Protein backbone atom coordinates (compact mmCIF):
# COMPACT_ATOMS: atom_id res chain seq x y z
CA UNK A 1 0.00 0.00 0.00
CA UNK A 2 2.75 2.39 1.05
CA UNK A 3 4.49 1.73 -2.19
CA UNK A 4 1.52 2.73 -4.30
CA UNK A 5 0.83 5.85 -2.25
CA UNK A 6 4.43 6.97 -2.81
CA UNK A 7 4.21 6.45 -6.50
CA UNK A 8 0.74 7.92 -6.90
CA UNK A 9 1.31 11.10 -4.91
CA UNK A 10 4.87 11.59 -6.17
CA UNK A 11 3.92 10.82 -9.75
CA UNK A 12 0.87 13.06 -9.53
CA UNK A 13 2.79 16.04 -8.18
CA UNK A 14 5.60 15.55 -10.67
CA UNK A 15 3.17 15.28 -13.55
CA UNK A 16 1.43 18.42 -12.32
CA UNK A 17 4.66 20.40 -12.25
CA UNK A 18 5.71 19.04 -15.64
CA UNK A 19 2.28 19.98 -17.01
CA UNK A 20 2.64 23.48 -15.63
CA UNK A 21 6.19 23.64 -16.99
CA UNK A 22 5.04 22.72 -20.49
CA UNK A 23 1.71 24.52 -20.65
CA UNK A 24 2.46 27.40 -18.25
CA UNK A 25 2.33 30.09 -20.95
CA UNK A 26 -1.23 29.04 -21.83
CA UNK A 27 -2.35 28.79 -18.23
CA UNK A 28 -1.16 32.24 -17.31
CA UNK A 29 -3.73 34.88 -17.97
CA UNK A 30 -1.39 37.86 -18.10
CA UNK A 31 2.08 38.42 -19.43
CA UNK A 32 4.48 37.82 -16.54
CA UNK A 33 6.86 40.58 -17.49
CA UNK A 34 5.07 43.28 -19.38
CA UNK A 35 1.86 43.55 -17.36
CA UNK A 36 3.41 45.55 -14.57
CA UNK A 37 1.07 48.09 -13.08
CA UNK A 38 2.20 49.93 -10.03
CA UNK A 39 -1.41 50.77 -9.21
CA UNK A 40 -1.92 47.09 -8.42
CA UNK A 41 1.28 46.60 -6.39
CA UNK A 42 1.22 44.06 -3.58
CA UNK A 43 -2.46 43.22 -3.78
CA UNK A 44 -3.49 40.17 -1.73
CA UNK A 45 -4.96 37.13 -3.52
CA UNK A 46 -8.38 37.87 -4.98
CA UNK A 47 -10.72 36.75 -7.73
CA UNK A 48 -8.80 38.75 -10.31
CA UNK A 49 -5.27 38.00 -9.05
CA UNK A 50 -5.49 34.41 -7.69
CA UNK A 51 -2.09 34.50 -6.06
CA UNK A 52 -1.96 38.26 -5.52
CA UNK A 53 0.47 40.66 -7.15
CA UNK A 54 4.11 41.57 -6.49
CA UNK A 55 5.86 44.86 -5.83
CA UNK A 56 5.46 45.92 -9.44
CA UNK A 57 1.86 44.83 -9.65
CA UNK A 58 2.54 41.77 -11.79
CA UNK A 59 0.24 38.79 -11.43
CA UNK A 60 2.02 36.18 -9.25
CA UNK A 61 -0.09 33.32 -10.65
CA UNK A 62 1.14 34.03 -14.15
CA UNK A 63 4.70 34.39 -12.97
CA UNK A 64 4.57 31.06 -11.11
CA UNK A 65 3.19 29.36 -14.24
CA UNK A 66 5.94 30.81 -16.43
CA UNK A 67 8.59 30.23 -13.78
CA UNK A 68 7.92 26.49 -13.75
CA UNK A 69 9.58 26.18 -17.13
CA UNK A 70 12.84 27.72 -16.00
CA UNK A 71 12.97 26.05 -12.62
CA UNK A 72 12.21 22.59 -13.97
CA UNK A 73 14.64 22.93 -16.86
CA UNK A 74 17.41 23.93 -14.50
CA UNK A 75 16.51 21.25 -11.93
CA UNK A 76 16.23 18.37 -14.37
CA UNK A 77 19.02 19.48 -16.69
CA UNK A 78 21.61 20.01 -13.99
CA UNK A 79 20.70 16.74 -12.26
CA UNK A 80 21.12 14.84 -15.53
CA UNK A 81 24.62 16.29 -15.87
CA UNK A 82 25.36 15.58 -12.20
CA UNK A 83 24.19 12.00 -12.40
CA UNK A 84 26.03 11.31 -15.64
CA UNK A 85 29.33 12.64 -14.28
CA UNK A 86 28.89 11.15 -10.82
CA UNK A 87 27.96 7.62 -11.87
CA UNK A 88 30.55 7.45 -14.64
CA UNK A 89 33.36 8.47 -12.31
CA UNK A 90 32.01 6.55 -9.33
CA UNK A 91 31.31 3.24 -11.03
CA UNK A 92 34.58 3.17 -12.97
CA UNK A 93 36.55 4.18 -9.86
CA UNK A 94 34.92 1.52 -7.72
CA UNK A 95 35.21 -1.16 -10.37
CA UNK A 96 38.73 -0.53 -11.64
CA UNK A 97 40.31 0.70 -8.43
CA UNK A 98 44.02 1.51 -8.49
CA UNK A 99 45.30 4.91 -9.52
CA UNK A 100 42.02 5.88 -11.19
CA UNK A 101 40.18 5.31 -7.92
CA UNK A 102 42.71 7.44 -6.06
CA UNK A 103 42.38 10.17 -8.67
CA UNK A 104 38.56 10.20 -8.56
CA UNK A 105 38.58 10.14 -4.78
CA UNK A 106 40.92 13.10 -4.69
CA UNK A 107 38.74 14.97 -7.15
CA UNK A 108 35.61 14.21 -5.13
CA UNK A 109 37.25 15.40 -1.93
CA UNK A 110 38.32 18.56 -3.70
CA UNK A 111 34.77 19.17 -4.91
CA UNK A 112 33.39 18.57 -1.45
CA UNK A 113 35.92 20.94 0.07
CA UNK A 114 35.00 23.86 -2.19
CA UNK A 115 31.53 25.23 -1.41
CA UNK A 116 29.60 24.26 -4.51
CA UNK A 117 27.82 27.60 -4.78
CA UNK A 118 31.13 29.46 -4.88
CA UNK A 119 32.39 27.08 -7.54
CA UNK A 120 29.19 27.50 -9.52
CA UNK A 121 29.67 31.25 -9.23
CA UNK A 122 33.13 30.94 -10.73
CA UNK A 123 31.83 28.84 -13.62
CA UNK A 124 28.98 31.30 -14.20
CA UNK A 125 31.50 34.13 -14.23
CA UNK A 126 33.33 32.40 -17.06
CA UNK A 127 30.28 31.25 -19.02
CA UNK A 128 28.26 34.39 -18.45
CA UNK A 129 24.67 34.51 -17.16
CA UNK A 130 21.86 32.57 -18.79
CA UNK A 131 19.83 29.42 -18.50
CA UNK A 132 22.29 27.08 -20.27
CA UNK A 133 25.29 28.22 -18.31
CA UNK A 134 23.23 27.96 -15.12
CA UNK A 135 22.51 24.31 -15.89
CA UNK A 136 26.13 23.59 -16.72
CA UNK A 137 27.40 25.38 -13.62
CA UNK A 138 25.05 23.50 -11.30
CA UNK A 139 25.66 20.27 -13.19
CA UNK A 140 29.42 20.50 -12.81
CA UNK A 141 29.44 21.26 -9.12
CA UNK A 142 27.12 18.80 -7.40
CA UNK A 143 28.17 15.37 -8.61
CA UNK A 144 30.36 14.46 -5.65
CA UNK A 145 27.58 12.80 -3.61
CA UNK A 146 26.41 10.75 -6.55
CA UNK A 147 30.01 9.81 -7.21
CA UNK A 148 30.66 8.76 -3.63
CA UNK A 149 27.55 6.65 -3.47
CA UNK A 150 27.97 4.96 -6.82
CA UNK A 151 31.60 4.21 -6.01
CA UNK A 152 30.63 2.62 -2.71
CA UNK A 153 27.92 0.61 -4.46
CA UNK A 154 30.29 -0.50 -7.19
CA UNK A 155 32.83 -1.61 -4.59
CA UNK A 156 30.23 -3.67 -2.79
CA UNK A 157 28.73 -5.16 -5.93
CA UNK A 158 32.11 -5.90 -7.50
CA UNK A 159 32.75 -8.62 -4.95
CA UNK A 160 29.32 -10.20 -5.42
CA UNK A 161 29.27 -13.65 -6.90
CA UNK A 162 27.41 -12.63 -10.04
CA UNK A 163 30.06 -10.12 -11.05
CA UNK A 164 32.77 -12.73 -10.61
CA UNK A 165 30.62 -15.21 -12.47
CA UNK A 166 30.22 -12.73 -15.30
CA UNK A 167 33.98 -12.33 -15.51
CA UNK A 168 34.46 -16.09 -15.58
CA UNK A 169 31.84 -16.39 -18.31
CA UNK A 170 33.81 -14.07 -20.56
CA UNK A 171 32.14 -10.68 -20.06
CA UNK A 172 34.31 -7.67 -20.78
CA UNK A 173 34.80 -4.84 -18.28
CA UNK A 174 32.38 -2.49 -20.04
CA UNK A 175 29.69 -5.12 -20.30
CA UNK A 176 30.07 -5.97 -16.61
CA UNK A 177 29.80 -2.32 -15.64
CA UNK A 178 26.74 -1.72 -17.79
CA UNK A 179 24.81 -4.92 -17.26
CA UNK A 180 25.83 -6.00 -13.78
CA UNK A 181 27.00 -3.04 -11.72
CA UNK A 182 25.09 -0.02 -13.02
CA UNK A 183 21.58 -1.51 -12.77
CA UNK A 184 22.30 -2.61 -9.23
CA UNK A 185 23.44 0.86 -8.15
CA UNK A 186 20.48 2.62 -9.69
CA UNK A 187 18.19 2.62 -6.63
CA UNK A 188 20.14 5.01 -4.42
CA UNK A 189 21.28 7.05 -7.42
CA UNK A 190 17.69 7.82 -8.43
CA UNK A 191 16.88 8.90 -4.91
CA UNK A 192 19.95 11.15 -4.77
CA UNK A 193 19.11 12.63 -8.17
CA UNK A 194 15.54 13.52 -7.22
CA UNK A 195 16.70 14.98 -3.92
CA UNK A 196 19.34 16.93 -5.79
CA UNK A 197 16.74 18.37 -8.14
CA UNK A 198 15.22 20.24 -5.24
CA UNK A 199 18.67 21.46 -4.30
CA UNK A 200 19.30 22.66 -7.84
CA UNK A 201 16.03 24.60 -7.94
CA UNK A 202 17.06 26.33 -4.72
CA UNK A 203 20.61 26.94 -5.95
CA UNK A 204 19.16 28.50 -9.08
CA UNK A 205 17.30 30.87 -6.76
CA UNK A 206 20.53 31.82 -5.01
CA UNK A 207 22.43 32.41 -8.24
CA UNK A 208 19.55 34.37 -9.74
CA UNK A 209 19.51 36.50 -6.61
CA UNK A 210 23.18 37.27 -7.14
CA UNK A 211 22.37 38.35 -10.65
CA UNK A 212 24.14 35.43 -12.33
CA UNK A 213 21.22 33.16 -12.96
CA UNK A 214 18.09 34.03 -14.79
CA UNK A 215 18.11 37.75 -15.46
CA UNK A 216 15.19 39.74 -14.09
CA UNK A 217 12.52 40.39 -15.12
CA UNK A 218 12.28 36.76 -16.40
CA UNK A 219 10.36 34.86 -13.77
CA UNK A 220 11.82 31.82 -12.02
CA UNK A 221 10.59 30.45 -8.72
CA UNK A 222 13.94 31.07 -7.14
CA UNK A 223 14.27 34.67 -8.25
CA UNK A 224 10.67 35.39 -7.25
CA UNK A 225 11.39 33.99 -3.80
CA UNK A 226 14.47 36.12 -3.35
CA UNK A 227 12.64 39.25 -4.55
CA UNK A 228 9.93 38.57 -1.99
CA UNK A 229 12.27 38.51 1.00
CA UNK A 230 11.79 42.16 1.87
CA UNK A 231 8.03 41.96 2.00
CA UNK A 232 7.65 38.66 3.81
CA UNK A 233 5.96 40.34 6.79
CA UNK A 234 3.85 42.86 4.88
CA UNK A 235 2.84 40.78 1.84
CA UNK A 236 3.52 37.09 2.59
CA UNK A 237 1.79 35.87 -0.59
CA UNK A 238 4.76 37.08 -2.58
CA UNK A 239 6.95 34.36 -1.09
CA UNK A 240 4.21 31.86 -0.23
CA UNK A 241 3.24 30.85 -3.77
CA UNK A 242 6.66 30.43 -5.40
CA UNK A 243 7.76 28.67 -2.19
CA UNK A 244 4.76 26.37 -2.36
CA UNK A 245 5.54 25.62 -5.99
CA UNK A 246 9.13 24.63 -5.11
CA UNK A 247 7.96 22.65 -2.10
CA UNK A 248 5.36 20.64 -4.01
CA UNK A 249 7.70 19.97 -6.92
CA UNK A 250 10.53 18.79 -4.68
CA UNK A 251 8.17 16.72 -2.56
CA UNK A 252 6.71 15.14 -5.67
CA UNK A 253 10.13 14.34 -7.07
CA UNK A 254 11.29 12.81 -3.79
CA UNK A 255 8.21 10.64 -3.42
CA UNK A 256 8.51 9.60 -7.04
CA UNK A 257 12.18 8.71 -6.56
CA UNK A 258 11.33 6.68 -3.50
CA UNK A 259 8.53 4.88 -5.28
CA UNK A 260 10.66 4.24 -8.36
CA UNK A 261 13.40 2.71 -6.26
CA UNK A 262 10.91 0.25 -4.81
CA UNK A 263 9.56 -0.62 -8.22
CA UNK A 264 13.03 -1.07 -9.72
CA UNK A 265 13.94 -3.66 -7.07
CA UNK A 266 12.50 -7.02 -8.13
CA UNK A 267 12.48 -8.31 -4.58
CA UNK A 268 10.11 -5.68 -3.28
CA UNK A 269 8.15 -5.84 -6.52
CA UNK A 270 7.18 -9.45 -5.95
CA UNK A 271 6.39 -8.83 -2.30
CA UNK A 272 3.57 -6.58 -3.38
Partner 1 sequence: MSASQPLLQVEDLHIALSTDAGSFPAVEGVSFEIARGETVGLVGESGCGKSITALSIMGLLKPPLGLAGGRIRLTGQEIQNLPAAELRSLRGKRIAMIFQEPMTALNPLKPVGRQIAEMFVLHQGASWREAEQKAVEALTQVKVPAPGRRAKDYPHQLSGGMRQRVMIAIALACEPDLLIADEPTTALDVTVQAEIVDLMKELCAARGTAILMISHDLGLVTDICRRVCVMYAGRIVEQQDSEQIFNHPQHPYTQGLVASLPRLGMRAQHGRRKLMEIAGVVPGITAYPGGCRFNPRCSRATEICVKVVPELEALGDGSLVRCHHHG
Q: Where does this chain bind partner 1 (CB under 8 A)?
A: 160-162, 164-172, 175, 179-180, 183-184, 264-267, 270
CB of 162 to partner 1, least distance (A): 5
Whichever of 233 and 270 has its CB closer to partner 1, that residue is 270
205, 198 contact by CB (below 8 A): no
CB of 5 to partner 1, least distance (A): 24
Q: How far from chain centre, in Å, is Cα 1?
A: 27
Helix, strand, or coil here: 143? coil
Whichever of 128 and 161 has its CB closer to partner 1, that residue is 161
Nearest to 197 by CA among 77, 110, 96, 86: 77
Whichever of 127 and 264 has its CB closer to partner 1, that residue is 264
Q: Can you tell me the distance from the alpha carbon of 84 to that of 196, in angstroms, rounded to the nearest whole number?
A: 13
For 119-135, give the DSSP string.
HHHHHHHHH-SSHHHHH
Whichever of 23 and 178 has its CB closer to partner 1, that residue is 178
Q: Residue 59: what are its φ and ψ, rounded to 5°?
A: -70, 120
CB of 161 to partner 1, least distance (A): 3
Whichever of 50 and 96 has its CB closer to partner 1, that residue is 96
Whichever of 132 and 179 has its CB closer to partner 1, that residue is 179
CB of 165 to partner 1, least distance (A): 5
**Which value, in Å, is the radius of gyration of the alpha carbons in the chain?**
22
How many other CB atoms sit within 10 Å of the CB of residue 19?
Answer: 12
Nearest to 243 by CA among 262, 228, 257: 228
CB of 263 to partner 1, least distance (A): 12
239, 228 contact by CB (below 8 A): yes
Q: What single-letter DSSP state applies at residue 45?
A: S
CB of 190 to partner 1, least distance (A): 14
Amino acid sequence: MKLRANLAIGGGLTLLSLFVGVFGPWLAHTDPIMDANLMNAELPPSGEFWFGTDQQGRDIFSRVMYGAQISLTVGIGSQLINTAIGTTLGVTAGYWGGWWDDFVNGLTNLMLAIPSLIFALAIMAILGPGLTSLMIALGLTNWSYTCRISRAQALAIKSQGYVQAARVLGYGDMRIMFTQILPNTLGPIIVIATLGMGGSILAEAALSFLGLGVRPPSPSWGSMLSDARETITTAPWLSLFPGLAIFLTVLGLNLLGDGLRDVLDPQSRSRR
